[in-house]
Structure 1
Amino acid sequence: MKKEDGSYWEALERITRLFDRYDKYTLDEKSRESLEKWNPEDLPERIEVTDEILDRGCQRITDGVFPKLEPRKSEKVERERRILLAPLYKYAAVAAVLLITAFSVIYFGDIGKGSKKEPVANNEGSNNMIILSAEDGIRHATLPDGTSLSINKGSKVSYDEQAFNRKKREVWIEGEAYFDVARNPEKLFIIHNENLQTVVRGTSFNVKAYEELSEMSIAVRTGKVEVQENDRIIATLTPNRQLVYAKSDGSVRESTISWEDAGAWMDSRLVLQNAGIDEFLLRVRQLYDIEIILDNDVLRNERVVVSFEKNAGFAQVMDMVCLLYNVKYKKISPERVTIYR
């Protein structure tokens, strides 16, 4: 198989998973709304691809995408869902063609296990970015300087292939990752997430910077970490110290934490210390692939403090949360529940 064939298959799998999650009601509300409002007529008029590429893409859609959307005809509820999904079929076709087309020029690198090279730009406008993404589970990777990463589900880390490890080592993060940075006093290691920069020379720490959360945090395991806001130093962290940064007003708070709690996600444990409800919803989705809906914004202003051992079941977690916060929950579907009072 040629390398470009791998990119076609990757694109096909992505669009298939997207519509499969829509069909199973496991997409978050924001993604569902965006998908339903998307109009293929809004797409660019010209796409530079050959007829051969389009033909291959359309054939893969026929063979791979639409069978995933076919209902199980023996079940009445699936027939009804088919009617609701019918307007989206043409969108699936257009989206799949575009994804397969776009990915046809991607060259897949092999920097660390499962890494990808995609044509995206960072703040410096580079077109030589390596994207390390974790879609279906935690991913482990190694950067060219020997730095090791653990990337949480639904997160990605990127870096400029040509610039990295020359004068300095810069990466960009969306989501969450644990860094064990290879020591090099001559070359700073800088992690960018929104308007924060985490600067180190050789240490281990966790960065949490999910777009959907109102706070970002850096928790240190070993060494010393310098945190900057737009090049202004706002904190210097040492082991078992954590900084939490509020996106809304730029306020900062530092605290002493247990590293085992901060890195609980790497052991598939659910541990939250004074977390917002959105982080609880995120962690449940990462661990159990279940989306929680808050009825009438119940618990919206609560801070969550819970701790569960590895392999704790979803029912165990929900029963405890309901007991602690005086709420109830019920299943809407196997992949979706609602919390209510």
Structure 2
Amino acid sequence: MRLKRLFSGYVKGKSNKEEERIVEVWYERKTASAREKVTEQEAEAFSEEAWQEFKDWRKSKKSQKSKRMRLMYGGAAAAVIAVMIILFPPAGIVESAADLYSGIVTRDAHYTESGDKLLSLVLEDGTKISVNKNSRFRVLPGKFNSKVREVELIGEAFFEVARDENRPFIVHTPGGLQTQVLGTSFNITAYEELGEQTVTVLTGLVKVSDAGEQSVLLKPDFSTVYKKEKGTLSARHVDAGLSTAWREGTYYLNEASFAEVALRIKQIYNLSLFVSDDIQLSQPIHMTLSYDIPPEVIAQGLADVYHVSARIENNTLILAK
């Protein structure tokens, strides 16, 4: 009955600091791990009325850290859960429920596709993954166990890997590239239409290997770009914070190809990019894209770069001489 009293007092604003801290810690712990489940005894300890009050209060509280929690009761269902997808509303990006995705994926599931939504995943080991739009992710069947943790990504995602020195965490991306860590945070961009893959490290050490014998070890604020046709891996110093800013709704493009510019414009504004055949596209692009910047401003910026005219019609940004 103590939990009932704690939750009821918390909702009604009658808790002291210690009791508030107990409730907050309990809530965050239950939300953060898909492995933990509420036992029947514990669930019975909450009165239905007090628990409903608590959920309603949490929903009404406007906080960027708010999450949707799903309580899992005992039984066989808990054994197959490997990934819980939690609502991920970064500030300035998500404007409606249509931009969110939630659900549960089992260990042997097919790809989880983000489409035009942002996903926030929590694996059963506690690893957190922010998946960008137009990406596909899955836990490899039979390869997330007591010895190894292997996943596959096509697209872009930011990983915060739970440290486990006995189980390396490996991300497989197209072309045989592998990114291996024990516990760190890093970003991978591996969209097939870009023709290259980029791994950028925010914290810890990351080993990147291709299908052959090449590998490179990256430390924080270092990145590697892999182009399959060249087959080269090399480290370069970067500002890792800029590479991961897409989670807050900003893309800093530095020497970006036209293919990447087109991809980012599609992700942010849902606009296709059309260019007439007489325009040369070899020039690298330096620009910032953001949900706060109107597409007309971006269109004019591209027009200035290529010395052409720009217009937007029928969900298409058109560049022409």
Q: TM-score range by the shorter chain?
A: 0.5 to 0.7
- Match of 2:34? none
Secondary structure of the equivalent of 2:304?
helix
Which runs of 5 or more residues in structure 1 are unaligned?
1-107, 119-126
The answer on whether the counterparts of 1:132 and 1:158 sit within 8 Å (CA) in structure 2 is yes
Count of aligned residue pairs for this structure pair: 225
Which amino acid is 2:137 matched to?
A: V
Q: Match for residue 326 of structure 1?
A: 307
- Structure 1 residue matching 2:303: 3-state secondary structure: helix
| Cα distance in 1 between the residues matched to 2:239 and 2:284 | 18
> 1:133 offset after TM fit, Å?
2.4
Q: Could you tell me how far 1:245 is from its partner in structure 2?
A: 0.8
Give the equivalent residue in structure 2 for 1:160.
140
Q: Does 1:300 align with 2:262?
A: no
Normalised TM-score (structure 2)? 0.65
Alpha-carbon distance in 2 for matches of 1:159, 1:144? 11
Shift of 1:161: 5.0
2:248 maps to 1:267: yes
- Aligned partner of 1:136 in structure 2 is 116
Question: How many angstroms apart in 1 are the aligned matches of 2:109 and 2:282?
Answer: 39
- Equivalent residue for 1:248? 229
- Counterpart of 2:158 in structure 1 is 178
8 A contact 1:182–1:203 mirrored in 2: yes
Please name the residue that 1:225 is paired with.
206
Structure 1: distance between partners of 2:249 and 2:165: 33
Q: How does 1:91-170 map to 2 (within 5 A)?
A: 111-113=83-85, 114-115=102-103, 117=105, 128-170=108-150
* Residue in structure 2 matched with residue 317 of structure 1 by the alignment: 298
Is the Cα–Cα contact under 8 Å of residues 253 and 286 in structure 2 kept in the other structure? yes
Q: Secondary structure at the match of 1:305?
A: strand
CA 1:235–1:336 in 2, change beyond 3 Å: closer, same or farther?
same
| Residue matched to 1:281 | 262
Render the CA deviation track for 1:277-320: whole Å, top value 9, x for unaligned: 00000000000000011110624212111124551111111212
Instruction: Output the CA distance in 1 between the equivalents of 2:112 and 2:177.
Output: 20
Contact (CA 8 Å) 2:140, 2:152: kept in 1 or not?
no
Residues 145-182 of structure 1: per-residue CA shift (max 9 Å, x gap): 11000000010111135431321000010100000000
Residue 111 of structure 1 aligns to which amino acid in structure 2?
V
Would the aligned equivalents of 2:152 and 2:171 in 1 still touch at CA under 8 Å?
yes
Q: Which is helix-richer, 1 or 2? A: 1
In structure 2, the gaps of 5 or more residues are 1-79, 86-101
Aligned counterparts of 1:205 and 1:251: Cα–Cα separation in 2: 20
The residue identity in structure 2 corresponding to 1:173 is L
Q: How far does residue 324 in structure 1 lie from its aligned partner after superposition?
A: 2.9
